[in-house]
C-alpha cells in the first residue's frame, strides 16, 4: 500500500439512514424541502411499473398466475396497505430472481413517497393488465 493511499470504508446502501432523503432529492423524487416532486414521480412510476410488468410477464407464462400476482397488489391497495404493497413488490423481484431496482429501493425509507409511488404503481399496473387482456377487479387502482 502506498503511503499516500488512504483506507476507504465501504458504505452499505441503506434507505433508512440520513442519506436516503438526499438520494431521493438527487433522483428528483423529492424537492429540497422534502416534498414529493409531483412532476417527476408519475414518470418514475410509469418507468418502473412498465419494467416490473414486463419482467413479471416474461417470467410467468400462465396468464392466470400473472393475474393472481396483480390481484394481490390490488387487494392490498383496497386496504390502503402501501408498505405491504411495497414489500410485495420487493418479494416479486426476489421471485423472478432480479434485484429490486435501486431507485425503487431508495423509496423504502420514506413512507409518504412509498404511498404516492404505490398508488401510481397500481394505476399503471391496472392499465397494463387491461391492455394485456388481464381482467382486474373493478375497484382496484382508482386514485382516491
Inter-residue contact 73 to 125 (CB < 8 Å): yes
Whole-structure pTM value: 0.82
pLDDT band at 20 (very low <50, low <70, confident <90, very high): confident
133 pLDDT higher than 90? no
| Number of domains forming the structure of the chain | 1
Q: Of residues 105 and 2, which shows the higher confidence score?
A: 105
Task: For 81-131, write each residue's pLDDT tens digit.
Answer: 999 999 999 999 999 999 999 899 999 989 999 999 999 999 999 999 999
What is the rounded distance in angstroms from the CA atom of residue 46 to the CA atom of residue 123? 9
What is the rounded distance in angstroms from the CA atom of residue 104 to the CA atom of residue 130? 24
Is the residue at 1 inside a domain? no
Q: Of residues 117 and 134, which shows the higher confidence score?
A: 117
Is the residue at 12 inside a domain? no
Task: For 28-84, write each residue's pLDDT tens digit.
Answer: 999 999 999 999 999 999 999 999 999 999 999 888 899 999 999 999 999 999 999
pLDDT band at 15 (very low <50, low <70, confident <90, very high): confident
Q: What is the mean pLDDT of the chain?
A: 87
Give Cα separations from 22 to 38, 106, 134, 142 (angstroms). 17, 10, 38, 31
Q: The domain containing residue 101 runs over which residues?
A: 37-131
Amino acid at each position: 500500500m502506498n503511503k499516500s493511499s488512504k483506507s476507504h470504508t465501504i458504505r452499505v446502501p441503506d434507505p433508512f439512514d440520513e442519506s436516503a432523503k438526499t438520494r431521493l432529492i438527487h433522483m428528483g423524487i423529492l424537492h429540497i424541502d422534502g416534498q414529493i416532486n409531483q412532476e417527476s414521480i408519475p414518470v418514475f412510476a410509469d418507468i418502473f411499473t412498465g419494467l416490473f410488468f414486463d419482467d413479471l410477464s416474461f417470467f410467468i407464462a400462465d396468464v392466470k398466475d400473472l393475474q393472481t400476482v396483480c390481484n394481490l397488489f390490488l387487494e392490498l391497495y383496497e386496504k390502503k396497505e402501501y408498505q405491504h404493497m411495497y414489500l410485495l413488490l420487493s418479494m416479486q423481484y426476489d421471485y423472478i430472481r432480479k434485484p429490486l431496482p435501486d431507485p425503487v429501493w431508495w423509496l423504502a425509507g420514506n413512507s409518504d413517497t412509498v404511498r404516492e409511488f404505490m398508488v401510481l404503481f397500481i394505476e399503471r399496473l391496472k392499465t397494463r393488465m387491461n391492455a394485456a387482456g388481464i381482467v382486474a377487479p373493478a375497484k382496484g387502482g382508482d386514485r382516491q
